[in-house]
Amino acid sequence: MKASSDYSPGTSRPAGEYPVGQASDFSERQARVFVINGIEIGVYRRGSRFYAYRNTCPHQGGPVCEGMVLGKVEPNVEGDRTITGERFSEDLLHIVCPWHGYEYDLTTGRCVTDSRMRLRTHDVVQRGEELYVRA
């Protein structure tokens, strides 16, 4: 399966598919980081889909894929527009860079506070149980 539809042309080295393990070896909310041809790439699982990003934060270059994965913090805004607390989103997961806390949407790689900033994306291909990262 092609998990990431926005393959970045910036990863312009000759296309190759590199095996990273079996789908069942990947757990939710925890990336595994692989070094492929000298480039660090984090692979994430979200349900049955997989996503792969370059382990470099566009902000200042931090190891973004080594950070936490957390639900987006959302306020509980009531009908009368008062705020009665906060919750973690079950739908929107964020990758958090451990250097400075920049947050990125796990499924798009876009920075949640500046959509011009985006993690370098790599395609993930699944054949049977095996996963491959294109790099």
Closest CA to 107 of 27, 25, 49, 42: 49
Please say which residue, 16 or 77, places its beta carbon nearer to another protein.
16
Please say which residue, 78 or 114, places its beta carbon nearer to another protein.
114
Cβ-contact 32, 45 below 8 angstroms: no
Binding mask 53-92 for another protein (x = CB under 8 A): --xx---xxxx--xxx-x----------------------
Footprint on residues 16-55 left by another protein (CB under 8 A): 16-21, 32-37, 40, 55
Cα–Cα distance measured from residue 113 to residue 101, given in angstroms and rounded to the nearest whole number: 11
3-state helix, strand, coil in the chain (%, to 5): 5, 50, 45
Residues binding another protein (CB under 8 A): 16-21, 32-37, 40, 55-56, 60-63, 66-68, 70, 96, 98-101, 127, 130, 132
